[in-house]
Structure 1
Protein backbone atom coordinates (compact mmCIF):
# COMPACT_ATOMS: atom_id res chain seq x y z
CA UNK A 1 0.00 0.00 0.00
CA UNK A 2 2.07 2.94 -1.23
CA UNK A 3 -0.26 5.55 0.31
CA UNK A 4 -0.49 3.87 3.73
CA UNK A 5 0.52 6.02 6.66
CA UNK A 6 4.09 5.37 7.79
CA UNK A 7 4.26 7.15 11.15
CA UNK A 8 8.06 7.26 11.19
CA UNK A 9 8.07 9.02 7.83
CA UNK A 10 5.11 11.29 8.61
CA UNK A 11 6.72 12.54 11.83
CA UNK A 12 10.37 12.48 10.71
CA UNK A 13 10.63 16.27 10.56
CA UNK A 14 8.72 16.71 13.81
CA UNK A 15 5.37 18.31 14.42
CA UNK A 16 5.91 21.74 12.92
CA UNK A 17 2.51 23.38 13.42
CA UNK A 18 -0.92 22.80 14.88
CA UNK A 19 -2.41 22.31 11.44
CA UNK A 20 0.22 19.62 10.78
CA UNK A 21 -0.71 17.95 14.09
CA UNK A 22 -4.44 17.98 13.36
CA UNK A 23 -3.88 16.67 9.81
CA UNK A 24 -1.77 13.87 11.24
CA UNK A 25 -4.43 13.00 13.84
CA UNK A 26 -7.09 12.87 11.10
CA UNK A 27 -4.95 10.61 8.93
CA UNK A 28 -3.95 8.42 11.87
CA UNK A 29 -7.57 8.00 12.95
CA UNK A 30 -8.58 7.07 9.42
CA UNK A 31 -5.76 4.70 8.52
CA UNK A 32 -4.72 3.14 11.84
CA UNK A 33 -8.06 2.87 13.62
CA UNK A 34 -10.17 2.43 10.50
CA UNK A 35 -12.58 5.02 11.86
CA UNK A 36 -12.24 8.48 10.29
CA UNK A 37 -12.88 11.49 12.48
CA UNK A 38 -16.41 12.83 12.26
CA UNK A 39 -18.00 16.00 13.59
CA UNK A 40 -19.47 14.24 16.64
CA UNK A 41 -16.02 13.02 17.72
CA UNK A 42 -15.11 16.40 19.14
CA UNK A 43 -16.37 18.29 22.15
CA UNK A 44 -18.94 20.98 21.47
CA UNK A 45 -18.32 24.70 21.71
CA UNK A 46 -20.87 24.80 24.55
CA UNK A 47 -18.88 22.22 26.55
CA UNK A 48 -15.65 24.12 26.01
CA UNK A 49 -17.27 27.46 26.85
CA UNK A 50 -18.68 25.97 30.07
CA UNK A 51 -15.24 24.65 31.04
CA UNK A 52 -13.73 28.08 30.43
CA UNK A 53 -16.44 29.71 32.54
CA UNK A 54 -15.80 27.24 35.38
CA UNK A 55 -12.03 27.78 35.20
CA UNK A 56 -12.28 31.56 34.85
CA UNK A 57 -10.01 31.80 31.80
CA UNK A 58 -9.93 30.83 28.13
CA UNK A 59 -8.33 27.60 27.05
CA UNK A 60 -5.27 27.91 24.83
CA UNK A 61 -6.22 27.64 21.14
CA UNK A 62 -4.30 24.38 20.66
CA UNK A 63 -6.07 22.68 23.56
CA UNK A 64 -9.48 23.92 22.48
CA UNK A 65 -8.87 22.83 18.88
CA UNK A 66 -7.79 19.37 20.00
CA UNK A 67 -10.87 18.90 22.17
CA UNK A 68 -13.06 20.13 19.30
CA UNK A 69 -11.43 17.73 16.85
CA UNK A 70 -11.34 14.48 18.82
CA UNK A 71 -12.13 15.04 22.49
CA UNK A 72 -14.79 12.29 22.52
CA UNK A 73 -12.71 9.66 20.74
CA UNK A 74 -11.78 7.32 23.58
CA UNK A 75 -9.68 5.20 21.24
CA UNK A 76 -7.49 8.25 20.57
CA UNK A 77 -7.59 10.11 23.88
CA UNK A 78 -8.42 7.84 26.80
CA UNK A 79 -6.20 4.80 26.85
CA UNK A 80 -3.44 4.60 29.47
CA UNK A 81 -3.13 8.36 29.99
CA UNK A 82 -6.66 9.64 29.49
CA UNK A 83 -7.47 13.12 28.35
CA UNK A 84 -9.89 14.49 30.92
CA UNK A 85 -13.24 15.75 29.68
CA UNK A 86 -13.69 19.54 29.48
CA UNK A 87 -15.82 19.41 32.65
CA UNK A 88 -12.96 17.61 34.46
CA UNK A 89 -10.25 20.15 33.63
CA UNK A 90 -8.75 21.48 36.84
CA UNK A 91 -5.98 23.69 38.15
CA UNK A 92 -3.32 21.86 40.12
CA UNK A 93 -1.58 24.20 42.56
CA UNK A 94 1.74 22.38 42.16
CA UNK A 95 4.58 23.98 40.22
CA UNK A 96 3.06 27.46 40.47
CA UNK A 97 -0.34 26.44 39.07
CA UNK A 98 -0.97 24.14 36.13
CA UNK A 99 -4.11 23.49 34.09
CA UNK A 100 -4.24 19.68 34.13
CA UNK A 101 -5.73 18.13 31.00
CA UNK A 102 -4.48 14.56 31.14
CA UNK A 103 -3.98 12.03 33.97
CA UNK A 104 -2.19 8.71 33.96
CA UNK A 105 -4.66 5.87 34.53
CA UNK A 106 -3.18 4.97 37.95
CA UNK A 107 -2.88 8.63 38.96
CA UNK A 108 0.91 8.59 39.07
CA UNK A 109 1.49 11.27 36.42
CA UNK A 110 -0.27 14.31 35.02
CA UNK A 111 0.08 16.61 32.03
CA UNK A 112 -0.76 20.27 32.12
CA UNK A 113 -0.10 23.84 31.04
CA UNK A 114 1.54 26.30 33.45
CA UNK A 115 -0.89 29.10 34.25
CA UNK A 116 1.76 31.69 33.44
CA UNK A 117 1.57 30.44 29.82
CA UNK A 118 -2.19 29.89 29.64
CA UNK A 119 -2.81 32.92 27.39
CA UNK A 120 -0.50 31.58 24.68
CA UNK A 121 -2.17 29.94 21.69
CA UNK A 122 0.13 26.92 21.86
CA UNK A 123 1.98 26.88 25.17
CA UNK A 124 4.42 24.31 26.41
CA UNK A 125 2.87 21.59 28.50
CA UNK A 126 4.39 19.87 31.47
CA UNK A 127 4.51 16.29 32.58
CA UNK A 128 4.96 15.54 36.24
CA UNK A 129 5.28 12.36 38.21
CA UNK A 130 3.22 11.89 41.30
CA UNK A 131 3.71 9.51 44.16
CA UNK A 132 0.67 8.44 46.09
CA UNK A 133 -1.40 11.17 44.49
CA UNK A 134 0.89 14.05 45.51
CA UNK A 135 3.18 15.83 43.06
CA UNK A 136 6.86 15.05 43.11
CA UNK A 137 9.41 17.75 42.56
CA UNK A 138 9.95 16.63 38.99
CA UNK A 139 8.26 18.40 36.11
CA UNK A 140 9.40 18.32 32.51
CA UNK A 141 8.52 20.93 29.88
CA UNK A 142 7.49 19.79 26.41
CA UNK A 143 6.76 21.86 23.32
CA UNK A 144 3.18 22.45 22.25
CA UNK A 145 1.24 20.45 19.62
CA UNK A 146 1.78 17.26 21.56
CA UNK A 147 -1.14 17.39 23.97
CA UNK A 148 -2.90 14.40 22.43
Structure 2
Protein backbone atom coordinates (compact mmCIF):
# COMPACT_ATOMS: atom_id res chain seq x y z
CA UNK A 1 0.00 0.00 0.00
CA UNK A 2 1.22 3.47 -0.86
CA UNK A 3 -1.77 5.30 0.66
CA UNK A 4 -1.97 7.45 -2.40
CA UNK A 5 -3.39 7.21 -5.87
CA UNK A 6 -1.26 7.07 -8.98
CA UNK A 7 -1.10 10.00 -11.38
CA UNK A 8 -3.23 8.00 -13.82
CA UNK A 9 -5.90 7.38 -11.16
CA UNK A 10 -5.94 11.05 -10.17
CA UNK A 11 -6.38 12.04 -13.80
CA UNK A 12 -9.30 9.63 -14.13
CA UNK A 13 -10.96 10.91 -10.95
CA UNK A 14 -10.84 14.39 -12.44
CA UNK A 15 -13.01 13.29 -15.36
CA UNK A 16 -16.73 14.14 -15.02
CA UNK A 17 -17.83 10.51 -15.17
CA UNK A 18 -15.71 9.55 -12.12
CA UNK A 19 -16.24 12.53 -9.83
CA UNK A 20 -18.93 10.59 -7.96
CA UNK A 21 -16.38 7.87 -7.11
CA UNK A 22 -13.92 10.37 -5.67
CA UNK A 23 -16.63 11.86 -3.44
CA UNK A 24 -17.98 8.46 -2.37
CA UNK A 25 -14.56 7.20 -1.28
CA UNK A 26 -13.73 10.38 0.64
CA UNK A 27 -17.04 10.54 2.50
CA UNK A 28 -18.24 6.96 2.92
CA UNK A 29 -15.14 4.77 3.11
CA UNK A 30 -12.24 4.38 5.53
CA UNK A 31 -9.56 4.35 2.90
CA UNK A 32 -8.86 6.77 0.09
CA UNK A 33 -7.83 5.52 -3.33
CA UNK A 34 -4.47 3.76 -3.46
CA UNK A 35 -2.39 2.90 -6.50
CA UNK A 36 -2.56 -0.78 -5.49
CA UNK A 37 -6.36 -0.66 -5.79
CA UNK A 38 -6.23 -0.50 -9.56
CA UNK A 39 -5.18 -2.78 -12.40
CA UNK A 40 -1.99 -2.14 -14.34
CA UNK A 41 -1.92 -1.85 -18.15
CA UNK A 42 -0.50 -5.37 -18.30
CA UNK A 43 -3.37 -6.71 -16.18
CA UNK A 44 -5.92 -5.00 -18.42
CA UNK A 45 -4.26 -6.53 -21.46
CA UNK A 46 -4.40 -9.96 -19.82
CA UNK A 47 -8.13 -9.54 -19.10
CA UNK A 48 -8.85 -8.62 -22.72
CA UNK A 49 -6.77 -11.55 -23.94
CA UNK A 50 -8.57 -13.98 -21.63
CA UNK A 51 -11.97 -12.74 -22.76
CA UNK A 52 -10.94 -12.27 -26.39
CA UNK A 53 -12.79 -8.99 -26.06
CA UNK A 54 -11.63 -5.37 -25.95
CA UNK A 55 -12.90 -3.92 -22.69
CA UNK A 56 -15.13 -0.85 -23.00
CA UNK A 57 -13.07 2.22 -22.08
CA UNK A 58 -15.17 2.98 -19.00
CA UNK A 59 -14.90 -0.59 -17.68
CA UNK A 60 -11.13 -0.52 -18.22
CA UNK A 61 -10.97 2.77 -16.29
CA UNK A 62 -13.11 1.29 -13.51
CA UNK A 63 -10.63 -1.56 -13.16
CA UNK A 64 -7.72 0.91 -13.27
CA UNK A 65 -9.32 2.75 -10.36
CA UNK A 66 -10.73 0.03 -8.09
CA UNK A 67 -10.33 -3.34 -9.81
CA UNK A 68 -8.51 -4.92 -6.85
CA UNK A 69 -10.83 -3.37 -4.32
CA UNK A 70 -14.19 -4.71 -5.51
CA UNK A 71 -16.13 -7.16 -3.34
CA UNK A 72 -19.62 -8.61 -3.13
CA UNK A 73 -22.12 -7.21 -0.65
CA UNK A 74 -25.70 -7.86 -1.71
CA UNK A 75 -24.85 -8.37 -5.37
CA UNK A 76 -21.51 -8.99 -7.05
CA UNK A 77 -19.52 -6.50 -9.12
CA UNK A 78 -17.48 -8.08 -11.87
CA UNK A 79 -13.82 -8.14 -10.85
CA UNK A 80 -10.71 -8.64 -12.99
CA UNK A 81 -10.94 -12.36 -12.10
CA UNK A 82 -14.70 -12.85 -12.51
CA UNK A 83 -15.56 -10.63 -15.49
CA UNK A 84 -16.84 -12.74 -18.37
CA UNK A 85 -18.32 -12.55 -21.85
CA UNK A 86 -21.99 -13.51 -22.17
CA UNK A 87 -23.81 -13.44 -25.50
CA UNK A 88 -21.18 -11.15 -26.97
CA UNK A 89 -21.36 -8.70 -24.06
CA UNK A 90 -19.23 -8.19 -20.95
CA UNK A 91 -20.58 -8.71 -17.43
CA UNK A 92 -20.61 -5.74 -15.05
CA UNK A 93 -22.69 -6.68 -11.98
CA UNK A 94 -24.55 -9.89 -11.09
CA UNK A 95 -27.42 -10.51 -8.67
CA UNK A 96 -26.49 -12.68 -5.70
CA UNK A 97 -28.39 -15.71 -7.02
CA UNK A 98 -27.50 -14.97 -10.64
CA UNK A 99 -31.09 -14.19 -11.64
CA UNK A 100 -29.85 -11.15 -13.57
CA UNK A 101 -26.60 -9.70 -14.84
CA UNK A 102 -25.86 -6.21 -16.11
CA UNK A 103 -23.96 -6.32 -19.40
CA UNK A 104 -22.25 -3.92 -21.81
CA UNK A 105 -20.86 -4.05 -25.30
CA UNK A 106 -17.91 -2.26 -26.83
CA UNK A 107 -17.42 1.50 -26.86
CA UNK A 108 -16.31 4.40 -24.68
CA UNK A 109 -19.16 4.55 -22.14
CA UNK A 110 -21.63 2.08 -23.65
CA UNK A 111 -25.21 1.59 -22.56
CA UNK A 112 -25.71 -1.00 -19.84
CA UNK A 113 -28.47 -3.58 -20.24
CA UNK A 114 -29.94 -6.43 -18.23
CA UNK A 115 -30.17 -10.06 -19.32
CA UNK A 116 -33.51 -10.82 -17.61
CA UNK A 117 -37.05 -10.13 -18.80
CA UNK A 118 -38.28 -10.39 -15.20
CA UNK A 119 -36.37 -7.30 -14.04
CA UNK A 120 -35.97 -3.82 -15.45
CA UNK A 121 -32.92 -1.63 -15.83
CA UNK A 122 -33.06 1.52 -17.95
CA UNK A 123 -30.65 1.95 -20.83
CA UNK A 124 -27.93 3.81 -18.96
CA UNK A 125 -24.29 4.70 -19.70
CA UNK A 126 -21.97 2.27 -17.93
CA UNK A 127 -20.46 4.96 -15.68
CA UNK A 128 -23.92 5.82 -14.33
CA UNK A 129 -24.83 2.15 -13.93
CA UNK A 130 -21.68 1.60 -11.87
CA UNK A 131 -22.59 4.63 -9.75
CA UNK A 132 -26.07 3.26 -9.11
CA UNK A 133 -24.95 -0.25 -8.21
CA UNK A 134 -22.07 0.96 -6.03
CA UNK A 135 -24.46 3.19 -4.11
CA UNK A 136 -26.98 0.34 -3.79
CA UNK A 137 -24.44 -2.01 -2.24
CA UNK A 138 -22.97 0.76 -0.08
CA UNK A 139 -26.47 1.25 1.33
CA UNK A 140 -26.85 -2.47 2.05
CA UNK A 141 -23.38 -2.57 3.58
CA UNK A 142 -24.38 0.23 5.95
CA UNK A 143 -27.50 -1.51 7.25
CA UNK A 144 -26.36 -5.10 6.80
CA UNK A 145 -24.29 -4.99 9.96
CA UNK A 146 -20.78 -5.88 8.82
CA UNK A 147 -19.62 -2.36 8.00
CA UNK A 148 -18.34 -3.16 4.52
CA UNK A 149 -19.40 -1.90 1.12
CA UNK A 150 -18.37 -2.92 -2.40
CA UNK A 151 -15.21 -0.80 -2.03
CA UNK A 152 -14.15 -2.06 1.40
CA UNK A 153 -14.53 -0.85 4.97
CA UNK A 154 -17.10 1.88 5.51
CA UNK A 155 -16.12 4.92 7.56
CA UNK A 156 -16.76 4.72 11.30
CA UNK A 157 -19.30 7.55 10.98
CA UNK A 158 -21.47 5.54 8.56
CA UNK A 159 -24.72 4.32 10.13
CA UNK A 160 -27.71 2.64 8.51
CA UNK A 161 -30.88 0.73 9.11
CA UNK A 162 -34.18 -0.51 7.74
CA UNK A 163 -37.48 0.88 9.01
CA UNK A 164 -39.95 -1.90 8.26
CA UNK A 165 -42.80 -0.46 10.31
CA UNK A 166 -42.76 3.04 8.83
CA UNK A 167 -46.18 4.39 7.85
CA UNK A 168 -46.70 5.48 4.26
CA UNK A 169 -46.79 9.14 5.25
CA UNK A 170 -43.51 8.75 7.15
CA UNK A 171 -41.81 7.20 4.13
CA UNK A 172 -43.18 9.94 1.87
CA UNK A 173 -42.02 12.65 4.28
CA UNK A 174 -38.47 11.31 4.43
CA UNK A 175 -38.12 10.72 0.69
CA UNK A 176 -39.57 14.13 -0.19
CA UNK A 177 -36.87 15.81 1.91
CA UNK A 178 -34.20 14.57 -0.51
CA UNK A 179 -33.98 14.64 -4.31
CA UNK A 180 -34.26 11.47 -6.34
CA UNK A 181 -30.75 10.79 -7.58
CA UNK A 182 -30.12 10.79 -11.32
CA UNK A 183 -28.79 7.26 -11.40
CA UNK A 184 -30.50 3.91 -12.01
CA UNK A 185 -31.80 1.91 -9.10
CA UNK A 186 -31.02 -1.69 -8.32
CA UNK A 187 -32.99 -3.88 -10.79
CA UNK A 188 -34.75 -5.59 -7.89
CA UNK A 189 -36.54 -2.30 -7.12
CA UNK A 190 -36.16 -0.42 -10.43
CA UNK A 191 -36.50 2.91 -8.59
CA UNK A 192 -33.62 5.39 -8.23
CA UNK A 193 -32.59 6.09 -4.64
CA UNK A 194 -33.05 9.44 -2.94
CA UNK A 195 -30.34 11.28 -1.07
CA UNK A 196 -27.38 13.60 -1.27
CA UNK A 197 -23.65 13.39 -0.63
CA UNK A 198 -24.08 12.10 2.93
CA UNK A 199 -27.44 10.29 2.78
CA UNK A 200 -28.81 7.32 0.80
CA UNK A 201 -32.50 6.35 0.97
CA UNK A 202 -34.55 3.66 -0.74
CA UNK A 203 -38.13 2.49 -0.32
CA UNK A 204 -37.41 -1.20 -0.75
CA UNK A 205 -37.81 -3.93 1.88
CA UNK A 206 -38.86 -1.09 4.14
CA UNK A 207 -37.35 2.37 4.28
CA UNK A 208 -33.66 1.61 3.85
CA UNK A 209 -31.40 4.43 5.01
CA UNK A 210 -27.71 5.17 5.43
CA UNK A 211 -25.85 8.30 6.47
CA UNK A 212 -22.18 9.22 6.53
CA UNK A 213 -22.13 12.04 9.10
CA UNK A 214 -23.57 12.86 12.51
CA UNK A 215 -25.41 15.83 10.98
CA UNK A 216 -27.06 13.60 8.38
CA UNK A 217 -28.09 11.18 11.14
CA UNK A 218 -29.72 14.00 13.10
CA UNK A 219 -31.60 15.07 9.97
CA UNK A 220 -33.04 11.59 9.39
CA UNK A 221 -33.94 11.23 13.05
CA UNK A 222 -35.82 14.54 12.90
CA UNK A 223 -37.84 13.30 9.92
CA UNK A 224 -38.64 9.85 11.31
CA UNK A 225 -37.69 8.91 14.88
CA UNK A 226 -35.04 6.22 14.81
CA UNK A 227 -35.48 5.36 18.49
CA UNK A 228 -39.11 6.28 19.25
CA UNK A 229 -40.50 6.10 22.79
CA UNK A 230 -41.86 2.62 23.39
CA UNK A 231 -40.16 1.39 20.23
CA UNK A 232 -38.88 -2.10 19.60
CA UNK A 233 -35.31 -3.26 20.16
CA UNK A 234 -33.22 -6.31 19.40
CA UNK A 235 -31.08 -7.99 22.05
CA UNK A 236 -28.34 -10.36 20.90
CA UNK A 237 -26.41 -13.07 22.71
CA UNK A 238 -23.27 -14.47 21.11
CA UNK A 239 -21.24 -17.35 22.56
CA UNK A 240 -18.49 -19.63 21.26
CA UNK A 241 -20.25 -22.60 19.69
CA UNK A 242 -18.49 -25.08 21.96
CA UNK A 243 -19.66 -23.19 25.04
CA UNK A 244 -23.22 -22.83 23.73
CA UNK A 245 -23.37 -26.56 23.09
CA UNK A 246 -21.89 -27.36 26.50
CA UNK A 247 -24.55 -25.37 28.35
CA UNK A 248 -27.39 -26.81 26.27
CA UNK A 249 -28.18 -23.85 24.02
CA UNK A 250 -27.85 -25.80 20.77
CA UNK A 251 -30.37 -28.49 19.92
CA UNK A 252 -29.84 -31.83 18.23
CA UNK A 253 -30.40 -30.32 14.80
CA UNK A 254 -27.53 -27.89 15.42
CA UNK A 255 -29.87 -24.93 15.70
CA UNK A 256 -30.17 -22.42 18.56
CA UNK A 257 -32.54 -23.66 21.26
CA UNK A 258 -34.39 -20.61 22.55
CA UNK A 259 -36.28 -22.76 25.05
CA UNK A 260 -33.02 -23.22 26.95
CA UNK A 261 -33.08 -19.54 27.93
CA UNK A 262 -36.33 -18.91 29.73
CA UNK A 263 -37.43 -15.31 29.14
CA UNK A 264 -40.96 -14.20 30.06
CA UNK A 265 -43.10 -13.77 26.95
CA UNK A 266 -44.14 -10.31 28.10
CA UNK A 267 -40.45 -9.30 28.18
CA UNK A 268 -39.14 -10.68 24.89
CA UNK A 269 -39.85 -13.07 22.07
CA UNK A 270 -37.34 -15.04 19.97
CA UNK A 271 -36.39 -13.45 16.66
CA UNK A 272 -33.50 -15.17 14.87
CA UNK A 273 -30.64 -17.49 15.70
CA UNK A 274 -27.60 -18.88 13.96
CA UNK A 275 -24.92 -21.48 14.62
CA UNK A 276 -21.58 -21.44 12.82
CA UNK A 277 -18.41 -23.40 13.42
CA UNK A 278 -17.08 -20.71 15.75
CA UNK A 279 -20.05 -18.97 17.33
CA UNK A 280 -23.74 -19.28 18.14
CA UNK A 281 -26.03 -16.26 18.23
CA UNK A 282 -29.54 -15.63 19.53
CA UNK A 283 -31.71 -12.55 19.02
CA UNK A 284 -34.87 -11.45 20.82
CA UNK A 285 -37.35 -8.65 20.16
CA UNK A 286 -38.17 -6.53 23.19
CA UNK A 287 -39.40 -3.13 24.30
CA UNK A 288 -37.20 -3.26 27.41
CA UNK A 289 -33.62 -3.84 26.22
CA UNK A 290 -31.82 -3.29 29.53
CA UNK A 291 -34.14 -5.65 31.40
CA UNK A 292 -33.92 -8.21 28.62
CA UNK A 293 -30.11 -8.09 28.56
CA UNK A 294 -30.02 -8.62 32.31
CA UNK A 295 -32.40 -11.58 32.05
CA UNK A 296 -30.32 -13.17 29.28
CA UNK A 297 -27.13 -12.80 31.30
CA UNK A 298 -28.74 -14.21 34.44
CA UNK A 299 -30.05 -17.21 32.48
CA UNK A 300 -26.49 -18.31 31.73
CA UNK A 301 -24.38 -20.33 34.15
CA UNK A 302 -22.29 -17.89 36.15
CA UNK A 303 -19.06 -19.51 34.97
CA UNK A 304 -19.91 -18.81 31.32
CA UNK A 305 -21.11 -15.22 31.58
CA UNK A 306 -17.67 -13.74 30.95
CA UNK A 307 -17.64 -15.48 27.54
CA UNK A 308 -21.01 -14.06 26.51
CA UNK A 309 -21.28 -11.03 24.27
CA UNK A 310 -24.65 -9.36 24.86
CA UNK A 311 -25.59 -6.34 22.77
CA UNK A 312 -28.70 -4.43 21.76
CA UNK A 313 -29.94 -2.05 19.09
CA UNK A 314 -33.13 -0.22 18.15
CA UNK A 315 -35.08 -2.02 15.40
CA UNK A 316 -34.62 0.97 13.11
CA UNK A 317 -30.82 1.22 13.52
CA UNK A 318 -28.58 -1.62 12.39
CA UNK A 319 -25.60 -0.97 14.67
CA UNK A 320 -25.28 -2.90 17.90
CA UNK A 321 -24.49 -1.32 21.26
CA UNK A 322 -22.97 -2.70 24.43
CA UNK A 323 -23.60 -1.43 27.94
CA UNK A 324 -20.33 -0.73 29.73
CA UNK A 325 -19.77 -1.47 33.41
CA UNK A 326 -20.08 2.25 34.19
CA UNK A 327 -23.48 2.38 32.50
CA UNK A 328 -22.22 4.03 29.33
CA UNK A 329 -23.10 2.83 25.85
CA UNK A 330 -20.54 1.78 23.26
CA UNK A 331 -21.58 1.65 19.59
CA UNK A 332 -20.40 -1.35 17.59
CA UNK A 333 -20.57 -2.41 13.96
Q: TM-score, normalised by structure 1?
A: 0.67
Cα distance in 1, alignment partners of residues 114 and 28 from structure 2 = 26
Cα distance in 1, alignment partners of residues 79 and 49 from structure 2 = 15
Tell me the equivalent position of 1:103: 94
Cα distance in 2, alignment partners of residues 147 and 51 from structure 1 = 21
- Residue correspondences, number: 116
Tell me the equivalent position of 2:109: 122
Does 1:113 pair with 2:104? yes
More helix by percentage: 1
Cα distance in 1, alignment partners of residues 29 and 63 from structure 2 = 18
Tell me the equivalent position of 2:47: 51
Runs of 5+ unmatched residues, structure 2: 1-13, 131-333
- Residue 34 of structure 1: CA displacement? 2.7
Over aligned residue pairs, what C-alpha RMSD do you find? 2.2
- Within 5 Å, give how 1:80-95 maps onto structure 2: 80-93=74-87
Does 1:143 pair with 2:125? yes
Cα distance in 2, alignment partners of residues 21 and 145 from structure 1 = 6
Cα distance in 2, alignment partners of residues 78 and 45 from structure 1 = 24
Q: TM-score, normalised by structure 2?
A: 0.32
Query: Given that residues 68 and 80 in structure 2 are in contact (C-alpha distance below 8 angstroms), is that contact kept between their aligned partners in structure 1?
Result: no
- Residue 104 of structure 1: CA displacement? 1.2
Cα distance in 2, alignment partners of residues 27 and 59 from structure 1 = 25
Query: Given that residues 122 and 144 in structure 1 are in contact (C-alpha distance below 8 angstroms), is that contact kept between their aligned partners in structure 2?
Result: yes
Runs of 5+ unmatched residues, structure 1: 1-17, 130-135
Cα distance in 1, alignment partners of residues 120 and 86 from structure 2 = 13
Query: Given that residues 128 and 139 in structure 1 are in contact (C-alpha distance below 8 angstroms), is that contact kept between their aligned partners in structure 2?
Result: no
Q: Which has the greater radius of gyration?
A: 2
2:27 counterpart (9, 28, 31)? 31
